[in-house]
């Protein structure tokens, strides 16, 4: 290893060094990247490089530390740090000669983001974006943080350069300690049983921590946490426990009526920066809206609350109107900022409402939406729907909402990242399928099928392996375990909704690929495949965040494939996952609600096979019975009236003997090989679905 002098002088530059002026004029190493986030930095004076063998080799050859910056296109504080620090010529000149600077789009490379976020959290106790990490040339993190103000950042990079020049062994030792801390977190944890009691303990803890006034986990900020709300809804459906229903309803109502929901345009913002769900962080993410639309749709079915169904419909209409591309694929996000300020696109004053609706009805709209002269955000108002209802309010809102949306469209809109992320699109497909069934909206299911077919076309490489992201139809990045689990679930849901065999075959293909390339010998699945780079070793994705973990999605997929196919190998994979990850899950049960949800349903998942043509009215009535209930404890499949094809039967032995009896479409409901008598009566099928006390 080279040893620079003790005076801290910069290593000599090689021919690849670019000065700030050249980077501004000609672009840096990001200029040919397709990612919008990387393009946003392609003309910074910092000589950024994309993560890859060239940049990593350069760090080793020059014996320089790596400055790794990770973010995403709609990240507000990423934009702030770019303006303050990365657009500063003095900071850039220092970075360009002392470091190899690498910029990563976390949405394209969740593996890089995950491992170094673990490192930052181990070093600081918290994390977020932009993530700023300093690495040794062999990729061990020795210092890290998130957003750093300009002068503090200038001082930081100077101090770290001095440490690298004069006390390098300290940095190397720190990097090794961090690496071991990350490895120790998932290693050596004994197996423990995961069952309904484990889930109930997590639910009890969540209920105790929920805000009694506004719902959601008590805290200075509020995050939707859809995976946790899923678990609560499913445990309530299974047990009828009123202690669960009350905080769940309170949360759903508060989010739906608050400023975290875009009352004018539809959809949800990322999170609320205060406890009442009124003031959001204004970025909009595809995954939040997909997961929340699906959650509200199921809540509408389970709790018999039509208003929740309207929230689901409104959210999906927003996705189809504003986040879907011409090819049917959904874009990643909307920025929080427009015109250089956060949230301005979404704010209203009473005067602006009067301009649209006139003095009298404009004043009424201001009352309905809580818009006041003083405002609730920097002198203007984020609309809510919390005013005491009066007769005629809904008619007034239905009349003027399109006009408000049209007026708002004339404003400078937030930037949209048109990147397509496979897992998030798969979540949108599942939401469209499930909400389409609950709400009786075939257009949602048709849109879901178009999206899934296009994903199958674009997001696979020539060998059929899944790809993580695409820009303008060009796929990039290896698909991670989350992509496989989420896409498999979406395809399986589509098969149940349409009866199309191709979706079931594709779901099985995706799960088979995951088993071959991601499986962990001790049980569960690694984040990345076995033939992919893995800085600091392969990582486990166990705990849910804004989205379900990779192992959470795989656990759900495995359980459903086992139920619908009767193939014991899928059940074996599920059991191995639950057993192999049990120690981690039990240690932090509230962090893994999707895995707990699957554990609760082990042995309780109902498989319903409909023998008949989806176009047949009687068969459609059976399918509608399932879809309207949206039962989380049920997975459905179709076979032709004469029974499954040999090819399908080979992959799904449980379908043997499933035929239409006396020519009438027939439903076969089974749980772990124990079957009810076949039926052609939708009312009888409904009783079978409710067997065990589940809430409709």
- 182: confidence class by pLDDT, cuts 50, 70, 90: confident
Q: How many CB atoms lie within 10 A of CB 672?
A: 15
Fold agreement between 20-186 and 196-336+417-601? no
pLDDT at site 116: 97
Residue range 550-563, pLDDT digits in tens: 999 999 999 999 99
207, two tokens: 């209920």
- 603: confidence class by pLDDT, cuts 50, 70, 90: confident
16-49 b/e (C-beta count within 10 Å ≥ 16 → b):
eebbbeebbeebbbbeebebbbbbbbbbbbbbbb
% of the chain with per-residue pLDDT over 70? 97
Contact 508, 464 (CB under 8 A): no
Residue 197 CB contacts under 8 Å (≥ 6 apart), including other chains: none
pLDDT at site 621: 98
pLDDT at site 188: 57
Of 15-24, 164-173, 259-268, the range with the lowest mean pLDDT is 15-24
> Does the pLDDT at position 186 exceed 70?
no
pLDDT at site 184: 72
Domain 196-336+417-601, CATH class in plain words: mainly alpha
Q: For the residues 364-389, what does the mean pLDDT come to?
A: 97
pLDDT at site 192: 86
What's domain 20-186's architecture?
Answer: 3-Layer(aba) Sandwich (3.40)
> Does the pLDDT at position 692 exceed 70?
no
Query: Cα–Cα distance between 393 and 355 in angstroms, integer?
Result: 19
- 691: confidence class by pLDDT, cuts 50, 70, 90: confident
Residue range 629-646, pLDDT digits in tens: 999 999 999 999 999 999
> Does the pLDDT at position 81 exceed 50?
yes
pLDDT at site 10: 44
Determine the 3-state secondary structure of 621 from DSSP.
helix
pLDDT at site 6: 32
> Does the pLDDT at position 190 exceed 90?
no
> Does the pLDDT at position 620 exceed 60?
yes
Q: For the residues 188-193, what does the mean pLDDT come to?
A: 76
DSSP character for 669?
Answer: E
Residue range 416-458, pLDDT digits in tens: 999 999 999 999 999 999 999 999 999 999 999 999 999 999 9
- 510: confidence class by pLDDT, cuts 50, 70, 90: very high
Cα-atom radius of gyration of the chain, to the nearest Å? Answer: 26
DSSP character for 414?
Answer: P
Q: Domain map of the chain by residue range?
A: 20-186, 196-336+417-601, 344-413, 606-690
- 8: confidence class by pLDDT, cuts 50, 70, 90: very low
Helix (H) or strand (E) holding 492: helix 481-498
Report field, pTM of the whole predicted structure over 0.85: yes
- 370: confidence class by pLDDT, cuts 50, 70, 90: very high
- 7: confidence class by pLDDT, cuts 50, 70, 90: very low
289, two tokens: 């809206």
Contact 280, 272 (CB under 8 A): yes
% of the chain with per-residue pLDDT over 90? 92
Q: At what angle do helices 617-629 and 422-439 cross, to 10 degrees?
A: 110
Average pLDDT for the chain: 94
Ramachandran assignment for 536, one of left (phi > 0), alpha (psi -120 to 50 degrees), beta (any other): left
> Does the pLDDT at position 673 exceed 90?
no
Query: Cα–Cα distance between 618 and 641 in angstroms, integer?
Result: 12
Residue range 204-238, pLDDT digits in tens: 999 999 999 999 999 999 999 999 999 999 999 99
Dihedral of CA atoms 278, 282, 283, 287 in degrees, nearest 10, equals 10
pLDDT at site 9: 43
CATH superfamily placement of domain 606-690: Glutaredoxin (3.40.30.10)
> Does the pLDDT at position 3 exceed 70?
no
Query: Cα–Cα distance between 471 and 456 in angstroms, integer?
Result: 15
């Amino acid at each position: 290893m080279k040893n620079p002098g003790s005076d801290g002088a910069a290593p000599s530059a090689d021919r690849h060094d670019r000065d700030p002026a050249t980077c501004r004029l000609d672009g840096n190493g990001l200029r040919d990247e397709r990612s919008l986030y990387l393009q946003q930095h392609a003309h910074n004076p910092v000589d950024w490089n994309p993560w890859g063998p060239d940049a990593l080799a350069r760090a080793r050859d020059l014996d320089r530390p790596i400055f790794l910056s990770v973010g995403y296109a709609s990240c507000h504080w990423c934009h702030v740090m770019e303006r303050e620090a990365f657009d500063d010529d003095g900071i850039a000149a220092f970075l360009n000669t002392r470091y190899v600077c690498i910029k990563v789009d976390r949405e394209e490379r969740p593996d890089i983001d995950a491992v170094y976020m673990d490192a930052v959290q181990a070093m600081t106790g918290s994390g977020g974006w932009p993530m700023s990490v300093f690495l040794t040339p062999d990729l061990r993190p020795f210092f890290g943080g998130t957003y750093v103000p300009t002068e503090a950042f200038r001082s930081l990079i100077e101090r770290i350069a001095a440490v690298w020049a004069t006390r390098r062994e300290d940095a190397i030792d720190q990097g090794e300690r961090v690496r071991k801390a990350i490895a120790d977190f998932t290693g050596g944890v004994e197996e423990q049983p995961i069952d309904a009691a484990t889930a109930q303990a997590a639910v009890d803890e969540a209920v105790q921590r929920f805000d009694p006034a506004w719902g959601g986990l008590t805290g200075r900020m509020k995050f939707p946490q859809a995976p946790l709300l899923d678990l609560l809804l499913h445990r309530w459906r299974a047990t009828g426990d009123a202690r669960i229903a009350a905080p769940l309803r309170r949360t759903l109502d508060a989010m739906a009526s608050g400023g975290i929901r875009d009352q004018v345009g539809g959809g949800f913002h990322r999170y609320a920066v205060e406890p009442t769900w009124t003031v959001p962080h204004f970025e909009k993410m595809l995954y939040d809206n997909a997961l929340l639309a699906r959650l509200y749709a199921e809540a509408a079915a389970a709790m018999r609350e039509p208003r929740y169904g309207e929230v689901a419909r409104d959210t999906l209409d927003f996705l189809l109107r504003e986040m879907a591309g011409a090819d049917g694929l959904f874009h990643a996000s909307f920025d929080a900022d427009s015109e250089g300020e956060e949230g301005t696109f979404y704010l209203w004053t009473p005067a602006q409402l009067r301009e649209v609706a006139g003095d009298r009805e404009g004043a009424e709209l201001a009352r309905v939406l809580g818009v006041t002269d003083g405002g609730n955000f920097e002198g203007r108002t984020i609309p809510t729907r919390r005013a005491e209802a009066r007769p005629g309010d809904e008619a007034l809102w239905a009349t003027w909402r399109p006009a408000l949306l049209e007026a708002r469209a004339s404003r400078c809109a937030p930037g949209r990242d048109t990147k397509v992320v496979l897992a998030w699109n798969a979540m949108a497909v599942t939401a469209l399928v499930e909400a389409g069934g609950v709400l009786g909206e075939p257009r949602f299911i048709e849109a879901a099928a178009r999206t899934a077919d296009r994903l199958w076309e674009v997001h696979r490489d020539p060998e059929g392996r899944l790809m993580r992201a695409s820009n303008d139809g060009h796929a990039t990045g290896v698909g991670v375990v989350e992509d496989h689990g989420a896409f498999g679930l979406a395809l399986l849901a589509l098969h149940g909704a349409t009866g199309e065999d191709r979706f079931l075959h594709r779901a099985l293909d995706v799960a088979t690929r995951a088993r071959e390339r991601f499986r962990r010998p001790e049980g569960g699945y690694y984040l990345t495949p076995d033939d992919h780079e893995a800085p600091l070793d392969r990582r486990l994705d166990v705990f849910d965040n804004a989205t379900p973990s990779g192992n959470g999605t795989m656990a759900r997929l495995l359980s459903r494939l086992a139920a619908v196919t009767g193939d014991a190998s899928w059940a074996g994979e599920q059991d191995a996952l639950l057993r192999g990850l049990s120690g981690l899950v039990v240690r932090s049960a509230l962090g893994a609600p999707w895995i707990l949800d699957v554990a609760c349903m082990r042995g309780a998942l109902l498989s319903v096979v409909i023998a008949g043509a989806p176009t047949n009215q009687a068969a459609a009535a059976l399918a509608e019975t399932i879809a309207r209930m949206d039962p989380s404890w049920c997975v459905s499949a179709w076979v032709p009236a004469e029974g499954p094809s040999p090819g399908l039967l080979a992959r799904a032995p449980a379908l043997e003997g499933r035929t239409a009896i006396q020519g009438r479409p027939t439903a076969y409901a089974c749980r772990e090989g124990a079957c009810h008598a076949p039926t052609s009566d939708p009312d009888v099928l409904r009783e079978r679905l409710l067997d065990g006390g589940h809430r409709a």
